Protein backbone atom coordinates (compact mmCIF):
# COMPACT_ATOMS: atom_id res chain seq x y z
CA UNK A 1 0.00 0.00 0.00
CA UNK A 2 1.19 3.48 -0.80
CA UNK A 3 0.03 7.01 -1.34
CA UNK A 4 -1.28 6.02 -4.79
CA UNK A 5 -3.94 3.93 -2.99
CA UNK A 6 -5.36 7.07 -1.35
CA UNK A 7 -7.77 9.46 -3.03
CA UNK A 8 -7.76 13.02 -1.66
CA UNK A 9 -11.35 14.10 -1.05
CA UNK A 10 -10.97 17.52 0.58
CA UNK A 11 -8.64 19.72 2.61
CA UNK A 12 -9.62 19.67 6.28
CA UNK A 13 -7.26 22.35 7.54
CA UNK A 14 -3.73 23.60 7.98
CA UNK A 15 -1.48 23.63 10.99
CA UNK A 16 2.09 23.27 12.22
CA UNK A 17 3.78 23.04 8.84
CA UNK A 18 1.26 20.89 7.02
CA UNK A 19 -2.10 20.51 5.35
CA UNK A 20 -4.53 17.81 6.49
CA UNK A 21 -6.71 16.10 3.88
CA UNK A 22 -9.65 13.75 4.17
CA UNK A 23 -8.68 10.73 2.04
CA UNK A 24 -10.31 7.46 1.02
CA UNK A 25 -8.51 4.18 0.40
CA UNK A 26 -9.35 3.22 -3.18
CA UNK A 27 -9.85 -0.48 -2.45
CA UNK A 28 -11.28 -0.63 1.07
CA UNK A 29 -13.11 2.75 0.86
CA UNK A 30 -11.98 3.43 4.45
CA UNK A 31 -11.66 7.11 5.37
CA UNK A 32 -8.49 8.57 6.90
CA UNK A 33 -6.85 11.90 7.59
CA UNK A 34 -3.57 12.54 5.76
CA UNK A 35 -1.25 15.26 7.08
CA UNK A 36 1.10 16.35 4.27
CA UNK A 37 4.24 18.31 5.19
CA UNK A 38 6.91 19.63 2.86
CA UNK A 39 10.24 19.02 4.52
CA UNK A 40 13.94 19.38 3.83
CA UNK A 41 15.28 15.97 2.75
CA UNK A 42 12.33 14.11 4.24
CA UNK A 43 12.84 15.42 7.77
CA UNK A 44 9.66 16.92 9.21
CA UNK A 45 9.85 20.38 10.83
CA UNK A 46 9.54 18.56 14.18
CA UNK A 47 10.56 14.89 13.95
CA UNK A 48 9.32 14.58 17.53
CA UNK A 49 5.74 14.62 16.18
CA UNK A 50 6.33 11.34 14.32
CA UNK A 51 8.08 9.80 17.33
CA UNK A 52 5.18 10.69 19.60
CA UNK A 53 2.51 9.45 17.17
CA UNK A 54 4.34 6.13 16.71
CA UNK A 55 4.94 5.64 20.44
CA UNK A 56 1.43 6.39 21.68
CA UNK A 57 -1.28 3.80 21.99
CA UNK A 58 -4.27 5.37 23.67
CA UNK A 59 -7.93 5.74 22.73
CA UNK A 60 -7.52 9.44 23.61
CA UNK A 61 -4.64 10.20 21.21
CA UNK A 62 -4.90 10.28 17.39
CA UNK A 63 -3.79 6.99 15.85
CA UNK A 64 -1.04 7.04 13.24
CA UNK A 65 -1.22 4.20 10.72
CA UNK A 66 1.58 4.89 8.27
CA UNK A 67 4.20 7.45 7.24
CA UNK A 68 5.13 8.07 3.62
CA UNK A 69 8.30 9.90 2.53
CA UNK A 70 8.46 11.14 -1.05
CA UNK A 71 11.66 11.96 -3.03
CA UNK A 72 10.38 15.57 -3.27
CA UNK A 73 10.80 15.91 0.49
CA UNK A 74 7.09 15.59 1.26
CA UNK A 75 6.30 13.59 4.39
CA UNK A 76 2.72 12.36 4.81
CA UNK A 77 1.23 10.91 7.99
CA UNK A 78 -1.82 8.66 7.58
CA UNK A 79 -4.06 8.97 10.65
CA UNK A 80 -7.55 8.07 11.76
CA UNK A 81 -10.33 10.31 10.50
CA UNK A 82 -12.53 12.05 13.07
CA UNK A 83 -15.79 12.79 11.27
CA UNK A 84 -17.03 15.62 13.52
CA UNK A 85 -13.83 17.63 13.12
CA UNK A 86 -12.30 19.76 15.84
CA UNK A 87 -13.98 20.82 19.06
CA UNK A 88 -13.63 24.39 17.79
CA UNK A 89 -15.57 23.71 14.58
CA UNK A 90 -18.10 21.53 16.43
CA UNK A 91 -18.97 24.36 18.84
CA UNK A 92 -19.17 26.87 15.97
CA UNK A 93 -21.70 24.71 14.13
CA UNK A 94 -23.66 23.25 17.09
CA UNK A 95 -23.46 26.04 19.66
CA UNK A 96 -22.74 25.59 23.35
CA UNK A 97 -21.99 22.09 24.57
CA UNK A 98 -24.51 20.42 26.85
CA UNK A 99 -23.29 19.75 30.37
CA UNK A 100 -23.23 16.00 29.63
CA UNK A 101 -21.20 16.38 26.43
CA UNK A 102 -18.81 18.83 28.11
CA UNK A 103 -18.26 16.28 30.88
CA UNK A 104 -17.69 13.45 28.39
CA UNK A 105 -15.17 15.48 26.38
CA UNK A 106 -13.40 16.74 29.52
CA UNK A 107 -13.01 13.22 30.93
CA UNK A 108 -11.55 11.93 27.68
CA UNK A 109 -9.10 14.83 27.35
CA UNK A 110 -8.00 14.42 30.98
CA UNK A 111 -7.45 10.69 30.39
CA UNK A 112 -5.34 11.67 27.38
CA UNK A 113 -3.30 14.02 29.60
CA UNK A 114 -2.78 11.24 32.17
CA UNK A 115 -1.57 8.93 29.39
CA UNK A 116 0.76 11.60 27.93
CA UNK A 117 2.11 12.36 31.41
CA UNK A 118 2.89 8.64 31.90
CA UNK A 119 4.95 8.77 28.67
CA UNK A 120 6.65 12.10 29.58
CA UNK A 121 4.97 13.87 26.64
CA UNK A 122 4.20 17.58 26.83
CA UNK A 123 1.78 18.70 24.10
CA UNK A 124 2.36 22.48 24.43
CA UNK A 125 -0.54 23.44 22.12
CA UNK A 126 -3.80 22.22 23.67
CA UNK A 127 -6.71 24.22 22.29
CA UNK A 128 -10.16 23.41 20.86
CA UNK A 129 -8.80 23.12 17.30
CA UNK A 130 -6.42 20.34 18.44
CA UNK A 131 -9.15 18.23 20.07
CA UNK A 132 -10.94 16.10 17.48
CA UNK A 133 -14.35 14.46 17.84
CA UNK A 134 -16.14 11.69 15.96
CA UNK A 135 -19.86 10.94 15.68
CA UNK A 136 -19.68 8.64 18.71
CA UNK A 137 -18.48 11.69 20.69
CA UNK A 138 -15.05 10.12 21.20
CA UNK A 139 -12.50 12.90 21.66
CA UNK A 140 -8.82 12.60 20.76
CA UNK A 141 -5.83 14.87 21.24
CA UNK A 142 -4.18 15.77 17.93
CA UNK A 143 -1.42 17.88 16.37
CA UNK A 144 1.79 17.08 18.20
CA UNK A 145 3.80 19.45 15.97
CA UNK A 146 5.39 21.40 18.83
CA UNK A 147 5.28 18.68 21.48
CA UNK A 148 8.25 17.39 23.42
CA UNK A 149 9.23 14.24 25.23
CA UNK A 150 10.88 15.29 28.48
Locate all alpha helices (DSSP H) within 1-150, ordered by sequence.
47-55, 87-94, 99-118
In the chain, what are the domain boundaries? 3-149
Which of the following is catalytic: 83, 100, 125, 143? 125
For every residue of 100-111, DSSP letters joined together read HHHHHHHHHHHH
Residue 125 designated active-site: yes
CATH architecture under which domain 3-149 falls: Orthogonal Bundle (1.10)
Q: Is 140 annotated as a binding-site member?
A: no
H or E element, residue 89: helix 87-94
Kindly give the confidence (pLDDT) of every residue in the chain, 150 residues in length, as a single tens digit, with 9 standing for 90 and above. Answer: 689 999 999 999 886 578 999 999 999 999 999 999 877 655 555 677 778 888 899 999 999 999 888 877 788 999 999 999 999 999 999 999 999 999 999 999 999 999 999 999 999 999 999 999 999 999 999 988 888 888
SS3 call for 114 = helix
Closest listed residue to residue 22, CA positions, set 12, 13, 37, 30: 12
How far apart CA 72 and CA 87 sit, in angstroms, is 33
Q: What are phi and psi of 39, to 5 degrees?
A: -135, 155
Distance of CA 22 to the CA centre of its chain: 11
Amino acid sequence: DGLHQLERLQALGQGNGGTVFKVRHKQTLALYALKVMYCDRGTPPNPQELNILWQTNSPYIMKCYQVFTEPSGEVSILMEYMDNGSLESYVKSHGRLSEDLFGTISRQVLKGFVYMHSKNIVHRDIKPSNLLINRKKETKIADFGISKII
